[in-house]
Amino acid sequence: MLADTLVAVWRGASSFRGDARVTTWLFGIARNQTHNHLRRRRPVRIGRLVDHDAQSDRVVAARDELSRVGAAIEALSPEHRETLMMAIVGDLSYGEISEILGVPVGTVKSRVANARRRLGERTGGHDDHDDEEVRR
């Protein structure tokens, strides 16, 4: 997927107008490549990744927790899931996410807050992160 993204960047370099930061432009291309990749791949069940004969209680508990969190993330709407991943995994600011998605910053803040709340509800956890601390 990285190679596909780099090729897309190379091919699209002439389309960069300079209206946004280069990183924002790059994340937009990476986002499109990720969507393309996910449409083509087949899902892998988490249970197949662990050798059932060699499981300890910790491995079983970790697998169950991973499965629960994965299911909670998958249950989010595509908009909430994508926005949350950009904020948490991509470590992008709300402004950067706003530019990439083409939505107002307030919409980004709302999506991230709602996604965190829903994840907490579905996993029995809670979110101790202050949005301003996490998202400059």
What pLDDT score does 115 carry? 92
The structure tokens listed for 82 are 């994508």
What pLDDT score does 52 carry? 53
Alpha helices in 13-104 (DSSP H): 22-40, 57-75, 78-88, 94-101
What pLDDT score does 126 carry? 55
Q: Which residues lie closer than 8 Å to 28 by C-beta, 6 or more apart? A: 100
Domain ranges of the chain: 1-44, 77-128
CB 5 within 8 A of CB 33: yes
What pLDDT score does 133 carry? 42
pLDDT along the chain (136 residues), means of 10: 71 77 78 74 58 63 77 88 85 88 94 91 65 43
Q: What are phi and psi of 124, to 5 degrees?
A: 80, 10
CA distance 25 to 102: 12
Q: How many CB atoms are closer than 10 A to CB 35? A: 12
What pLDDT score does 131 carry? 44
At the topology level of CATH, where does 77-128 sit? Arc Repressor Mutant, subunit A (1.10.10)
